[in-house]
Amino acid sequence: AQTVTQSQPEMSVQEAETVTLSCTYDTSESDYYLFWYKQPPSRQMILVIRQEAYKQQNATENRFSVNFQKAAKSFSLKISDSQLGDAAMYFCAYNWIQGAQKLVFGQGTRLTINP
């Protein structure tokens, strides 16, 4: 069974600095997607970034980028120039392309931004 692990329950960073959130996953499949979702205090789930496993290039969305290491089954999220609005729970998630369509989520990392 696929599993997703986020080993950092909480992280904090000073405003304008950079922070990296860790995620590892376990799968025997070769074709899959990985996602980072953000859940602010409103509790809405917001897609931050998506990575296709067959792409070697790391995905980037403005201040958000990932470090995807397929062999190591690692998928970390880097947030540059942190802003107060980045404060939220961040969830890493996995989706196997060819099979079950369910997203498998990690336990989440609570990110605090210090002004």
Binding site for other proteins (CB under 8 A): 33, 35, 37, 42-47, 50, 91, 95, 97-98, 100-108
Closer CB to other proteins, 81 or 102, in the complex: 102
Least Å distance between CB 108 and other proteins? 5
Least Å distance between CB 72 and other proteins? 22
Sequence-ordered list of residues with C-beta below 8 angstroms from that of 85, at least 6 positions apart, any chain? 40
Closer CB to other proteins, 79 or 91, in the complex: 91
Contact 13, 99 (CB under 8 A): no
Contact 6, 108 (CB under 8 A): yes
CA distance 45 to 34: 15
